[in-house]
Structure 1
């Protein structure tokens, strides 16, 4: 059953790691002793000669651009898992995620029964200013009819996004009333900080989902608020954080480390050793600190965690991190595509290389998380360190490992509750998400009675046999799923998930994590450790 759960989430973990991790080192060209070199166009290479011959002489019509992309991807497959080619069609979205913003109208939507529904409206966004509400249904965007004609999500994004200051007219169905709105597009943030709040007396919690251009700024804003509330202890949650911009993680590490301490250094055959050190007084150099990681924590997350662990600054709790210790640099190509090429490795202050082996090929590399399950690394603490990892000792004598991710100081096994095939069906059919949205829209006045996530956690009840649970059971039957026959552990898992997702509808990601953390085993363990320190 655990294997089924891992298979369900593994593609998402790898996509996060690949998208986030491939940016490690990006935006740092001016600090790296390496520059792009452009080859002479006077003499064609063999690959270009072959493509030219195919284009001019091949028996059937063929798209040579597609062939060229495939040739580049095959070439890169013989290097390392994180040197990648980004087609021009994908580059904008990739760069938007890295920049932490895009130009659009500021809604979250989903498509149910060939109809585009507004799931939520970002606070302060152009859509909120125009008057859009959760539950609105799109009929037209501009001159394009989008209801009932198989419009997919990519088409919707293309229609809604546009230059800052440009306008888009939309026709919506609200209840039984048709409404028209003109929305002036704006800059929409893609937040990297999911939550920042006081989780217990004198104890703060911050969760980062990536390291984009705005991450350090978001982190500092959250820390200032926590300081105003008297924070003395902090939980920094990096679970599932696939990385991003190296400099952002370095800046955050500097806020925890004193003096001139080394944070990380990078080095490659064509890149001289470059050190990154603490250089200023940090906002939280003295308080108790715990970092949470798991198998989805990669790249810049491992830089930050490794520095704090090597200097005995933080206790690391969770499971061994992904093991991505390669630095990429972007080279923009003439056709609008880009190459992310690995140019160096990064090393923690003790000299640990966190990159896991990839000498058996990319397929084996991608299956490594499956291997962790089969070897017991996600379940058993004794199997959690990298078997071939070289041991190191911190200044206080703590044993740490290199060679395949960051090994936590305190192990917390994967939560294996709620992993039956029936629960998996609820996810694959999106039964849970569909129900939460529809129930929330139908009962929005009741949800707005709760002032904040803490009140919601205490006062909103989804017990088995209660009104909400019975409504969900009836809804699940439409997807041929009988939830009232589930084991008690699965039932409790679904109740917790429903409650957290309702909180997300009301207060976005911060609401989700504040409610979910109340029963999160790793967060509970972190609070126990902080109380014992």
Structure 2
């Protein structure tokens, strides 16, 4: 069961690492010599070949496709993170790390071939005109029907997003009545902080989902809020964080480290060593700190975790991180396409490069996470023994390079909590759909909830909710009869967490799910 689950999510997780992690080189443009390549006037054999195909080939050929094929094939023989991005995909590829996008400010989900509004962003364009959770979208700009036409999520996003200030007409169905809304698109912020709250008296919890533009700013605002609430020690959660902008990770490391300590340095064959050190007085230089990582924590996450581990500033808890220690820099080509070329490796303060091997090719590299599951590493700590070079921290701890950041405290992946018979609830998003419908049908009850803590006391899913789910799942051809009592209990707990997310988004979800998260519980024990 666990293997199937990982097979489904592995391509998504690797894509996150590829897209998010490789943005780390944006801050290194001025330090790289590679830009000179684009100033050469001499034609190459590749250019000659493309021109020959375009002018002499028997059939009509799309030149852009040839360029993309040639570039992708060439880069595939270098490293797994050097990539080519066609001109029409560059904006989309860069948008996520900018920390915002231009659109109408809603979250949606396609249920039964109908676009349902799951959340309306507070203060956003849609809220201003009166769009509400539960509205079902029928059409966009009169002509583009979006209900009952097998519309995709990407298709919806393309219709709703657009330049700031432009308008879009959206028709929705609410309480059986069609309603039209003219919405002026705006800049929609995407928070890089999933959750920040006091998990126990004196103990703060802060989860960063990516290192995007202005992540440090959001981090500081939340740290100040937690300190005003009496925070003396902190759990910093970097699990699932695929990386991002190097400057943001450096600034956050500076908030935890004192003096002018080295945070990270980068170096490559055609790039001289560049050092990044602490330069300001940190907001949290002395309080107890624990950092959570897992196999999907990558790139900038590893820069931050590695620096804090090397200086004995934090206890690293969880599982070995992804192992991406390569730095990419973007180069814009003449046709507007972009190459993100690996130009350097980054090294922790002790000199560790935690890039995992990729000499056997991209396919083997991508399958490495799956291999950790098959060889038992993610469930048994003894199989995760480091094979890289050993280093000594100032405090005498032994840390390792090569293949990711090895945690100080190992917490295994819980592969027993999901019953095999219930797996389809997650694959088909049936459980999410059920929670959404339950919320819509019981909105007056949930509108009384002031915070996630109240929800955990007054909404405790039981037999009624289970039977409702059993009936709901049958519509998706899912039979829950074989689910064990333990599996049933886990699903009911998940319903509570998902309801918190439906009401309070990511912050509510983690505030509820953290109550039973084994890694969180291990971190809390470490403070005692």
Q: Aligned with 1:172: secondary structure?
A: strand
Deviation at 1:496, TM superposition (A): 2.1
Q: Distance in 2 between matches of 1:397 and 1:142?
A: 65
Name the residue aligned to 1:7: 7
Structure 1 residue 50, shift from structure 2 partner:
1.5
Distance across 2 between alignment mates of 1:61 and 1:113: 41
Question: Following TM superposition, by how much is the alpha carbon of 1:33 offset from its aligned partner in structure 2, in angstroms?
Answer: 4.4
User: Runs (4+) of structure 1 moved beyond 6 Å?
Assistant: none
CA distance in 2, matches of 1:385, 1:215: 33
Report matched runs for 1:455-466 at 5 Å: 455-463=454-462, 465=463
> Residue in 2 aligned with 1:424?
423
Cα drift, residue 385 of structure 1: 3.2
Counterpart CA distance in 1 for 2:385 and 2:354 is 12
Normalising by structure 2, report the TM-score: 0.97
Q: 1:81 to 1:446 in 2, by over 3 A?
A: same
In the other structure, the counterpart of 2:522 is: 525
Q: Would the alpha carbon gap of residues 150 and 483 (structure 1) be closer, same or farther in structure 2, given more than 3 Å must change?
A: closer
| Aligned mates of 1:273, 1:530 — CA distance in 2 | 38
Is residue 487 from structure 1 mapped to residue 487 from structure 2 by the alignment?
no
Q: Which residue of 2 aligns with 1:503?
A: 500
Alignment of 1:317-336 (within 5 A): 317-336=317-336
Q: Partner of 2:342 in structure 1?
A: 342
Deviation at 1:158, TM superposition (A): 1.9
1:317–1:408 Cα contact (<8 Å) kept: yes
Partner of 1:172: 172
Give the whole-Å Cα distance in 1 for the aligned partners of 2:85 and 2:493: 38
Correspondences of 1:85-100 after superposition (within 5 Å): 85-100=84-99
After the TM superposition, which of the residue ranges 376-385 and 237-246 deviates more from structure 2? Answer: 376-385
CA distance in 1, matches of 2:458, 2:157: 37
Please, which moves more after superposition, 500-509 or 467-476? 467-476
Find the aligned partners of 2:199 and 2:141 in 1 and give their Cα distance: 45
Residue 294 (structure 1) aligns with? 294
Change (3 A) 1:39 1:224: closer
* Two-structure CA RMSD over aligned residues (Å): 1.4
Give unpaired runs (5+ residues) of structure 1. none
Alpha-carbon distance, 1:149 to partner: 2.7
The answer on whether the counterparts of 1:320 and 1:385 sit within 8 Å (CA) in structure 2 is no
Matched position secondary structure for 2:259: coil
In the alignment, is the contact (CA less than 8 A) between 1:238 and 1:297 conserved in 2?
Answer: yes
Q: Which moved more, 1:58-67 or 1:207-216?
A: 58-67
User: 1:35 Cα deviation (Å)?
Assistant: 5.5
CA distance in 2, matches of 1:277, 1:27: 14
Deviations 1:229-273 (A, max 9, x none): 010010000001000000100000000000111110000111111
CA distance in 1, matches of 2:156, 2:24: 31
Partner of 1:19: 19
Compared with structure 1, are the counterparts of its residues 470 and 284 closer, same or farther at alpha carbon in structure 2 (3 Å cutoff)?
same
Q: Distance in 2 between matches of 1:313 and 1:50?
A: 55
For residue 44 of structure 1, what is the aligned residue in structure 2? 43
- Within the alignment, does 1:110 sit opposite 2:109 as a pair? yes
Give the Cα separation in 1 of the matches to 2:280 and 2:39. Answer: 45
**Native 8 Å contact 2:421 2:482 kept in 1:** no
Q: CA deviation at 1:476?
A: 0.8
Paired residues of 2:101 and 2:187 also in contact (CA < 8 A): yes
Partner of 1:216: 216
Check the 8 A contact 1:418/1:491 in 2, yes or no: no
Q: Which moved more, 1:376-385 or 1:196-205?
A: 376-385
1:470 partnered with 2:467: yes
CA spacing shift, 1:347–1:40, aligned 2, 3 Å: closer
Deviations 1:355-388 (A, max 9, x none): 01111111111111122122221011112233x2
Match for residue 380 of structure 1?
Answer: 380
Is residue 40 of structure 2 the alignment partner of residue 71 of structure 1? Answer: no
Partners of 2:155 and 2:478 in 1: CA distance: 31
- The structural deviation recorded for 1:492 is 2.3
Q: How much has 1:38 moved relative to structure 2?
A: 4.5
Which string of whole-angstrom CA distances, capped at 9 and with x for unpartnered residues, describes residues 389-430 of structure 1? 111111111111111100000000001123443222112222
Long gaps (5+) in structure 2: none
Q: Does 1:260 align with 2:257?
A: no
Judge conservation of contact 1:28–1:247 (CA < 8 Å) in 2: no
Quote the Cα distance in structure 2 between the aligned partners of 1:248 and 1:406: 19
CA contact (8 A) 2:34 2:270 kept: no
- What secondary structure sits across from 1:26 in the alignment? helix
Q: 2:250 matched to which residue of 1? A: 250
Q: Give 1:41 deviation, angstroms.
A: 6.7
Counterpart for residue 361 of structure 1 = 361
Aligned counterparts of 2:262 and 2:91: Cα–Cα separation in 1:
34
In 1, Cα distance between equivalents of 2:161 and 2:28: 29
The alignment of Structure 1 onto Structure 2 pairs a total of residues equal to 527
- How far 1:40 moved relative to its partner? 5.4
CA positional deviation for 1:325: 0.3
Q: Counterpart in 1 of 2:185?
A: 185
Q: Name which of structure 1's ranges 154-163 and 126-135 shifts more when overlaid on structure 2.
A: 154-163
Question: SS where residue 23 of structure 2 aligns?
Answer: coil
Instruction: Give the Cα–Cα distance (whole angstroms) in 1 for the partners of residues 234 and 369 of structure 2.
Output: 29
Q: Contact conserved, 2:32 with 2:343, CA < 8 A, in 1?
A: no
Q: CA deviation at 1:52?
A: 1.6
The whole-number CA distance in structure 2 between the counterparts of 1:308 and 1:43 is 47
**Counterpart for residue 437 of structure 1:** 436
Report the equivalent of 2:309: 309
CA drift of 1:285 comes to: 0.6
CA distance in structure 1 between the partners assigned to 2:269 and 2:39 by the alignment? 23
- Residue 150 of structure 2 corresponds to which residue in structure 1? 150
> How far apart are 1:24 and its partner, in Å?
1.2
Give the TM-score taking structure 1 as reference length. Answer: 0.96
